[in-house]
């Protein structure tokens, strides 16, 4: 296969354990990030439970497992999220996906995350009416 030393941890298929490893690695970085870390650390009380939820979410997104039953929009509406946080989140996600999966699979995770981020941004910041009225002033 011609793997390089830094590719040794890369998964060549999307499985539940591979998703869990990506999610754990990503959120370990995100929690330490000076820009987005404080949002996560203030919002999440039980990281083990939160990581289980995120694993179920990404399993549902990438494997169409149907494991995730939550409402990501409602979960994010109450947080003090700024538009600039999305680019930082995506940059860390792209980096971690590239470290965790072969390039073709990392691209799939990146593409899904970008579509999800765009949907969240639109709902949080760019829709007139009920959604913006429901958000507290920044």
Query: What is the number of helices (H) and of strands (E) in the chain?
Result: 7, 0
Contact (Cβ atoms closer than 8 angstroms) between residue 36 and residue 88: yes
Say if 7 falls within a structural domain. no
Task: Report the alpha-carbon distance of residue 56 to residue 26 in Å, rounded.
Answer: 15
Rounded to 10 degrees, the C-alpha dihedral 107/99/69/84 comes to -80
CATH number for position 43:
1.10.490.10
Domain with 110 in it: 13-134
The predicted pLDDT at position 92 comes to 98
CA nearest neighbour of 68 among 10, 16, 121, 12: 16
Contact (Cβ atoms closer than 8 angstroms) between residue 11 and residue 18: yes
Task: Indicate if the pLDDT at residue 48 is higher than 50.
Answer: yes
Say if 4 falls within a structural domain. no
The predicted pLDDT at position 129 comes to 57
Say if 35 falls within a structural domain. yes
Say if 6 falls within a structural domain. no
For residues 118 and 138, the model is more confident at 118
* Domains held by the chain: number: 1
Task: Report the alpha-carbon distance of residue 68 to residue 65 in Å, rounded.
Answer: 8
Task: Indicate if the pLDDT at residue 8 is higher than 90.
Answer: no
The predicted pLDDT at position 14 comes to 96
Residue 2's pLDDT band (cuts 50, 70, 90):
very low
The predicted pLDDT at position 137 comes to 52
Say if 83 falls within a structural domain. yes
pTM: predicted TM-score of the whole model, two decimal places: 0.82
């Amino acid at each position: 296969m011609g793997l390089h030393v830094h590719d040794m941890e890369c998964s060549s298929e999307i499985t539940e354990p591979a998703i869990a490893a990506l999610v754990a690695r990503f959120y370990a970085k995100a929690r330490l990030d000076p820009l987005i870390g404080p949002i996560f650390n203030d919002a999440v009380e039980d990281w083990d439970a939160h990581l289980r939820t995120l694993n179920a979410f990404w399993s549902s997104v990438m494997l169409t497992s149907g494991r995730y039953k939550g409402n990501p929009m409602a979960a994010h509406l109450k947080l003090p999220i700024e538009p600039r946080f999305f680019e930082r989140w995506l940059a860390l996600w792209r980096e971690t996906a590239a470290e965790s999966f072969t390039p073709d699979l990392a691209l799939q995770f990146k593409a899904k995350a970008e579509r999800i981020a765009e949907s969240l941004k639109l709902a949080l910041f760019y829709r007139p009416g009920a959604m913006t009225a429901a958000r507290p002033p920044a």
